[in-house]
């Protein structure tokens, strides 16, 4: 029932005192003073508790006790599942179309030279020790923290949100553009640091070639040198990596409207132009141009044709001097970057990376990381045909070769290249402190969630115990039984105690009403508004 105004309840409790002599006070008058004559509020009828009615038990926290109990809603997820397993790598969360960024971060983290440079980099404003709230504010600083977490975190997956806040490249570039631009941004950021003695990006990824143009009239040659961080290889019409490399180096004829201006002849002449590789980098990035512009449709499309590539790549035949006298032309496959999807504007990015120390292959799929069997590259389901994709069957390949319809980048590492993986201790103290703090936050979170689950389970079990259900039933029907003169012994408890108990039965305190007693050891009538009347049997249970 809706609560009566306070003045009305007070008046009803003591109005009889104005016309009744003290010698004529009866039990009925006492009941009115203690408001035991008031009707019981129907369960759920009051939005707020009626403070003046000792029989109103609404809005005290009892609602959840009377709702249907659904055990399936209890939290059962074990947050220790988010804990990194010993010997496993750490994954990266997908923040929404950032899977291609995750693949490159894992790729660079597993490059010993890049990791060493990132660990050695020092921010001039870096504190000597970590303090609460410290965060990096630069690209290199965020990479340092991400790499530190990838090595030292106890989480199975981490978030790289901070990196996205300091670079504008991510939302506006596709995977191939991002790789090029980010390496240049990173090179610029690292080169300005006094703690680094070499340009690691240049040393690792930069090669050189020359455009050689030969005049067909005077046979003179001109050369224009250029550097590259990756080779863009056309795969249209080719089925092997070797064929794509040959196409890249193929001689081009300059004729007709495209004639060459010869400085020797001092006139335009027919000419031949070709690219000649002079120096190859330690890590050879080969971009397979799988996403090409379709002039007829006015947008990019994906080429889903298979391309074969070897585990060991000999680049000597493609070098200007044929690599004579050196083994610098021999490379071993280090990573395969996959785009799984039928179009250039949708799909998912995955990286297969060969870990350098042991030589095992791993598949990095955002949060999920899978180790391949027997140290062998297994492209697996990402080569399955998807709706809208090519139905071409995978060709048979020789031993030591692989074939893919979805690979868009191949990474080769120079064979027998030495590279010590950086130690966690090489990181700045502040960054190590950041990781330690993050690990502690994870431990606290797991502990808190476990406590919540235990509390929820305890509450569920409490609600299913007959004694508690009996208590509430007695609480709600005590007035009905009392009015019928049934042998029910009542007692008073404070409203606050009852509310606390309903909210947390497992942490209840002993009932005490001493502060509300009069000199005669009875409840003061003025304190009825702070009390509720329930059965003593229910309290004892």
> Cβ distance 361 to 352 under 8 Å?
yes
Q: Report angle CA 339, 412, 226 to the nearest 5 degrees.
A: 95
Catalytic residue check, 22: no
Catalytic residue check, 518: no
> Cβ distance 335 to 344 under 8 Å?
no
Contacts of residue 52, defined as CB under 8 A and 6 or more positions apart, other chains included, come to 3, 4, 6, 9, 10, 13, 35, 38, 528, 529
Dihedral pair phi/psi, residue 130, rounded to 5°: -70, 140
Our measurement of the distance from residue 493's CA atom to the centroid of its chain's CA atoms, rounded to an integer in Å, reads 49
Q: Report angle CA 306, 239, 298 to the nearest 5 degrees.
A: 70
> Cβ distance 175 to 182 under 8 Å?
no
Of residues 154, 132, 148, 162, the one with CA closest to residue 440: 154
Distance, in Å, from the CA atom of 185 to the CA atom of 171, rounded to the nearest integer, reads 16
> Cβ distance 279 to 208 under 8 Å?
yes
Choosing from 29, 79, 328, 348, the catalytic residue is: 348
Dihedral pair phi/psi, residue 122, rounded to 5°: -130, 130
The catalytic residue positions are 99, 348
């Amino acid at each position: 029932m809706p609560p009566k105004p306070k003045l009305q309840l007070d008046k009803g409790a003591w109005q009889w005192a104005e016309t009744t002599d003290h010698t004529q006070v009866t039990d009925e008058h006492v009941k009115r003073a203690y408001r035991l004559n008031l009707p019981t509020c129907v369960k759920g009828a009051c939005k707020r508790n009626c403070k003046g009615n000792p029989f109103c038990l609404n809005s005290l926290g009892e609602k959840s006790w009377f709702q249907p109990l659904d055990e399936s809603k209890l939290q059962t997820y074990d947050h220790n599942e988010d804990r990194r397993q010993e010997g496993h790598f750490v994954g990266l969360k997908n923040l929404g179309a950032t899977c291609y960024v995750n693949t490159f971060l894992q790729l660079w983290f597993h490059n010993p030279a890049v990791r060493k440079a990132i660990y050695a980099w020092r921010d001039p404003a870096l504190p000597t020790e970590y303090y609460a709230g410290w965060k990096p504010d630069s690209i290199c600083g965020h990479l340092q923290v991400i790499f530190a977490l990838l090595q030292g975190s106890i989480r199975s997956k981490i978030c790289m949100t901070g990196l996205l806040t300091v670079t504008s490249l991510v939302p506006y570039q596709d995977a191939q553009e991002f790789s090029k631009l980010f390496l240049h941004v990173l090179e610029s950021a690292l080169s300005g640091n006094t703690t680094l003695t070499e340009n690691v990006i240049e040393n690792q990824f930069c090669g050189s070639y020359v455009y050689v143009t030969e005049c067909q009239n005077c046979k003179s040659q001109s050369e224009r040198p250029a550097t590259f961080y990756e080779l863009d290889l056309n795969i249209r019409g080719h089925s092997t990596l070797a064929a794509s490399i040959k196409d890249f180096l193929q001689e081009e004829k300059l004729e007709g409207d495209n004639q060459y201006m010869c400085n020797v002849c001092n006139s335009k002449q027919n000419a031949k132009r070709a690219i000649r590789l002079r120096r190859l980098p330690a890590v050879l990035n080969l971009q397979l141009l799988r996403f090409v512009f379709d002039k007829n449709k006015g947008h990019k499309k994906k080429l889903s044709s298979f391309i074969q590539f070897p585990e060991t790549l000999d680049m000597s035949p493609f070098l200007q001097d044929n690599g004579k006298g050196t083994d610098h032309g021999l490379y071993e496959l280090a990573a395969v970057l996959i785009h799984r999807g039928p179009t250039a504007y949708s799909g998912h990015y995955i990286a297969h990376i060969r870990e350098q120390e042991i030589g095992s292959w791993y598949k990095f799929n955002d949060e999920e990381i899978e180790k391949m069997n027997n140290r062998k590259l297994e492209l697996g389901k990402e080569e399955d045909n998807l709706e809208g994709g090519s139905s071409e069957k995978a060709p048979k390949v020789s031993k030591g070769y692989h074939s893919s319809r979805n690979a868009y980048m191949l990474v080769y590492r120079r064979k027998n290249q030495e590279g010590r993986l950086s130690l966690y201790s090489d990181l700045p103290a502040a960054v190590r402190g950041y990781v330690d703090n993050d690990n502690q936050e994870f431990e606290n979170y797991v502990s808190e969630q476990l406590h919540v689950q235990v509390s929820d389970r305890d509450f569920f079990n409490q609600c299913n115990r007959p004694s508690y259900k009996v208590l509430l039933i007695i609480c709600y029907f005590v007035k009905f039984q009392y009015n019928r003169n049934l042998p029910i012994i009542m007692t008073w408890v404070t409203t606050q105690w009852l509310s606390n108990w309903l909210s947390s039965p497992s942490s209840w305190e002993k009932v005490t009403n001493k502060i509300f007693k009069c000199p005669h050891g009875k409840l003061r009538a003025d304190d009825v508004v702070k009390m509720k009347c329930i059965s003593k049997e229910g309290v004892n249970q």
